[in-house]
Structure 1
Amino acid sequence: MLYLLHEPVEKETVEEKILPLLKNIKHELVSYPLDKEFDIDKDSALMLYLPDAVLREIIPMAAKNSWSVSILPHPNNKFTSKGLGISEDIEEVITQYAECEDPYDIDLLFCNEVPVFSSVNIGDIFILSERNGKKNFFQEVINIIHNIRRVSSLSHHSYQISTDGEKIIHTSALGIIVVEHASSSLISKRLLEESSINDGSFQAFVLAPQNLLVLLWFFVRSLVPNTKTLNRLPSFIGKIKTSNLQVSDDAPMDYTIDGEKKQSKALNFEVHKQAVLLKQKSIYSENTEKENGRKSIKFEGLPKGETRKELIKRSLPILPRASTEQFQDLFKVLRTNSKISTAFMVMMILSTLIATFGLFANSSPVIIGAMILAPVIAPIVSFSMGMVRYDVPMLKESFITITAGTLVSLAFAAGVSIIIPLKVLTPEIEARLSPTLLDMGIAISSGIAAAYAHSNEGIAKSLAGVAIAVALVPPLAVAGIGIGWWDWEVFSGAILLYATNLAGIILFGGLTFLLLGFAPFKRAKMGLVYTFIIVILVAVPLSLSFDRIMQEANITRALEGTTIENVVLRDVRIRFGSTNVVSLRLVGSENIEPQRIQSIKKEIEKRIDQPVKLEVVSAMEF
């Protein structure tokens, strides 16, 4: 016998849409709620045309009495059919019932003795939960836009999580999502491989992002239409696989079971094995993953200790914010690095000497060796932190150390240039006499690399040291050579390059610390303004120099390889002055007379639209 359960108000709908499909099946209509005496024998079954709220009552009752059930799709059945993986077509469900000889045993997850068909959402996880069970990409986008006004007020809540009665972690998180299988929520679809509803366990995901940026990035990745799961669990998500779980807090927790809002100080999750006898097909009935009894717990990235307490106090920041432990560890290192020491001075002298000899020898490998030895990165990064934290003692100590290192480097480079009886502008020296905005770009990249490497323990500090040394030690040595030669052009060009890189590194190193959350913007504002002004002042001569390089490139491009009066122009070089000097080689098939060179000069001036002095080397082609 088949008993078709329905609510009294829907009797007409049942008679019109369902009864004609049951004409070959012995059945009886039963109105819900049931009479106290209602009972069925083991050969009978229930067919349920009921909404989610009623199914949450009748299915545990059926499980307790070992009644077989078939669930028909209903306008207000948004979670049960999807959660159990059954068809949402009435005719197909009835056909499956008729063809099903032995009911399928299905596990069922309970939260505080209430059955869970889809998911339990604890706390503020609306951004990663599906709305009314919908799966459409654009509907999910609309969902987040609808709730975007709540993003600024998101904050962590405290949670004590236990399993088998033993506490495993006291953490904070935006919320927790509990699901029995992969299809239950937006987040589980991207983090779980296809899972079974009959493995005797469920999954709990603890969402604990420490800033909105990482949360929104994960949300965007989750919405992208893709059937593949993410290869790696994001660091801000903890994952627990178990057969029972307890979540508690001192204050009442807001949570939803399949969209129904509830509140409690303690939640108890437990899987009832083979609780439901399902007399119809489920997409999970063929997934026969066996229960292995193993728990899986991954929560390395969840906040604990002081970090947990700080996150509970405030709303979730947009950008990363360093924890107290992170700040204390980094600050100790930078405080030490800001102080002048014998080791710093010795290494500064040695790196300068090596760089100076390498510049005279025109040896790139020797200069690179000096870059590796240079210790000047340490006080510069400390100065950047002192600037954004407006820490006056650190600023003073860093400034003294940087100044002392600069003066010592200039003095020793000047001394070497006086001792060595050579006054030749080698290509390595000449390369550091005309800084441009391109060098500012190098300084910016170096400053970001230095600050990031110091804030991240997983990156070797030496990598940042090499990056900064590239920009600082050689120009300092060249400036010292300019002092030794008493040559203003050599000194001014190199010291401008040094100042450029120093200012760029300090400013963007500080900005990096600011973005990584090591200082509040209000405190960093004044230091950043002063440094930015210095960068702007330095950028003025750099832009002029960059403009000069552009002019040189345009002139070279206009003349190199061209033919004037059957003479080919080769090896074009430009020297700027009150009147620019064009140096080149004229290649022809015969000797070139002075009158002809004058004619070529006029044609060159016409092509580049400016007067020039011409220096030529004549060559004959045979």
Structure 2
Amino acid sequence: MEPEVEPGPVDDVLAVLHAEPGAVHVVRLRGAAVSPPGDVVEADLARESVDGVLQQLRELGCAQHGGIVLETLDTVVSAAAERAEEAVPGEGLDAVVWDELLARTGQGARLSATFVIMLTIACLLGAIGVVTNSPVTVVGAMVLGPEFGPLAALALAAVRRDGPMARSAGLALAVGFGIAVPVTAVAAAGARAVDAIPDNALTNLSGVEFVYQVGPFSLVVALLAGVAGMVALVAGEGSGVLVGVFISVTTVPAAGFVAVAVVLRDWPRAGGSLLQLVVNVVGIVIAGTVVLLLARASRRRRGLPEHLPRRRADR
């Protein structure tokens, strides 16, 4: 962590770090910052203590007059760091660093050309996978789909009661699917016009029935995927866990199937796919929200500091 501060409050920053048992390797670089001018203070923090230290640094005005930079250290070989980990209650993997979580979900919550393009390509792949009865292509569409970012942001917005973030994530999903599904439908109509998609294309879908057949396990899978995805985001786990989550849910393939089924006027399967999409979206958001609420409740029971950054920290 590197809080950039003016010369005046630097002693207060050092006092905060010296008083924190989870802080080690504190370094002060006098006059190192050029714009804005001031000192740079570096310190290694046990993950469990990051949230509380950030709150105190904000109260000192570091975020307004300088800056606070968080970096994850993959490997630290230090006896002092080990003692700091032991001195702070809780486990590092269970600690929620709200600023870090906001940074990870905030980017995916915004509507962008990249998000729309990737979602559209994923829907097209999903439609091709369904029409060709290719589970491999459908799984590829699942991995490519970027919709988990806005869904995680909706869960975080619910916990923080953050209306702007919820609207931003909802807009990304609405516009993204609002463009991806019609584009897929137009592509399907064009393919049908040149006989690339026969009228009976949806009669034999034994390999991809899970896309439009909604059952009790559809919600169970969505809930489990939502829990796993949010836990991975909270713990800062690698992308491998999230890829597994993407493969578990059928949001993008269901959206692509809706477009194809509408073009072929297969209304029962179109309705089933749409319901599958809704079940997965709702299940992921609910599960993610519950994970974050439980994380907050756990920290409160243990008397650990917790701070949910205000809106300005999201930018």
Output the TM-score relative to the length of structure 2: 0.62
Distance 1:470 1:484 in 2: 27
1:414 Cα deviation after fit: 1.6
Give 3-state SS (helix, strand or coil) of 1:442's partner.
helix
Distance 2:142 2:206 in 1: 18
Give 3-state SS (helix, strand or coil) of 1:402's partner.
helix
AA of the residue aligned to 2:161: Y
Which residue of the partner structure matches residue 416 of structure 1? Answer: 187
For residues 187-244 of structure 1, what are the alpha-carbon distances to aligned partners after superposition, in whole Å with 9 as ceiling and x for unaligned?
Answer: xxxxxxxxxxxxxxxxxxxxxx98xxxxxxxxxxxxxxxxxxxxxxxxxxxxx9xxxx
Unpaired runs of at least 5, structure 2: 1-16, 23-47, 50-77, 193-197, 301-315
Which residue of the partner structure matches residue 168 of structure 2? Answer: 397
1:437 Cα deviation after fit: 0.8
Give 3-state SS (helix, strand or coil) of 2:169's partner.
helix
1:380 Cα deviation after fit: 0.6
Residues 389/345 of structure 1: CA separation in 2 closer, same or farther (3 Å cut): same
Q: Report whether the alignment pairs 1:467 with 2:252.
A: no
8 Å Cα contact 2:95/2:234 also seen in 1:
no
Q: Report whether the alignment pairs 1:448 with 2:223.
A: no
Give 3-state SS (helix, strand or coil) of 1:362's partner.
coil
Which residue of the partner structure matches residue 481 of structure 1? Answer: 260
8 Å Cα contact 1:381/1:509 also seen in 2:
yes
AA of the residue aligned to 2:286: L
8 Å Cα contact 1:321/1:517 also seen in 2:
no
Count of residues in Structure 1 that have an aligned counterpart in Structure 2: 220
Distance 1:344 1:391 in 2: 22
AA of the residue aligned to 1:299: R
1:503 Cα deviation after fit: 0.6
1:401 Cα deviation after fit: 0.5
Structure having the larger proportion of residues in strand: 1
Q: Report whether the alignment pairs 1:344 with 2:103.
A: no
For residues 78-126 of structure 1, what are the alpha-carbon distances to aligned partners after superposition, in whole Å with 9 as ceiling and x for unaligned?
Answer: xxxxxxxxxxxxxxxxxxxxxxxxxxxxxxxxxxxxxxxxxxxxxxxxx
Q: Report whether the alignment pairs 1:298 with 2:82.
A: yes
Residues 358/302 of structure 1: CA separation in 2 closer, same or farther (3 Å cut): same
Which residue of the partner structure matches residue 136 of structure 2? Answer: 365
Output the TM-score relative to the length of structure 1: 0.33
Q: Report whether the alignment pairs 1:381 with 2:157.
A: no
Q: Report whether the alignment pairs 1:438 with 2:209.
A: no
Match of 1:491 among 254, 270, 275: 270
Which residue of the partner structure matches residue 102 of structure 1? Answer: none
Which residue of the partner structure matches residue 334 of structure 1? Answer: 105
8 Å Cα contact 1:429/1:478 also seen in 2:
no
For residues 374-423 of structure 1, what are the alpha-carbon distances to aligned partners after superposition, in whole Å with 9 as ceiling and x for unaligned?
Answer: 11111110111001111000000000111112222321232232122323
Distance 2:167 2:298 in 1: 18
Structure having the larger proportion of residues in helix: 2
Q: Report whether the alignment pairs 1:513 with 2:312.
A: no
Which residue of the partner structure matches residue 407 of structure 1? Answer: 178
Distance 2:188 2:18 in 1: 65
What pairs up with 1:17-416 in 2 under 5 angstroms?
170-172=19-21, 298-302=82-86, 322=96, 326-416=97-187
Distance 1:520 1:297 in 2: 22
AA of the residue aligned to 1:378: G
1:463 Cα deviation after fit: 2.8
1:477 Cα deviation after fit: 1.1
AA of the residue aligned to 2:272: G
**Identical amino acids, percent of aligned pairs:** 18
AA of the residue aligned to 1:501: N
AA of the residue aligned to 1:371: M
Residues 507/486 of structure 1: CA separation in 2 closer, same or farther (3 Å cut): same
Unpaired runs of at least 5, structure 1: 1-167, 174-208, 211-239, 241-294, 305-310, 522-622
1:520 Cα deviation after fit: 9.2
Which of structures 1 and 2 has the larger relative contact order (alpha carbons within 8 angstroms, sep 6+)? 2
AA of the residue aligned to 2:189: I
8 Å Cα contact 1:171/1:302 also seen in 2:
no
Residues 434/368 of structure 1: CA separation in 2 closer, same or farther (3 Å cut): closer
The structure that has the greater radius of gyration is: 1
Distance 1:481 1:447 in 2: 27
Distance 2:162 2:239 in 1: 23
Residues 460/338 of structure 1: CA separation in 2 closer, same or farther (3 Å cut): same
Residues 469/405 of structure 1: CA separation in 2 closer, same or farther (3 Å cut): farther
Give 3-state SS (helix, strand or coil) of 2:212's partner.
coil
8 Å Cα contact 1:354/1:369 also seen in 2:
yes
Distance 2:113 2:225 in 1: 26
AA of the residue aligned to 2:275: L
Residues 297/406 of structure 1: CA separation in 2 closer, same or farther (3 Å cut): closer
1:469 Cα deviation after fit: 4.9
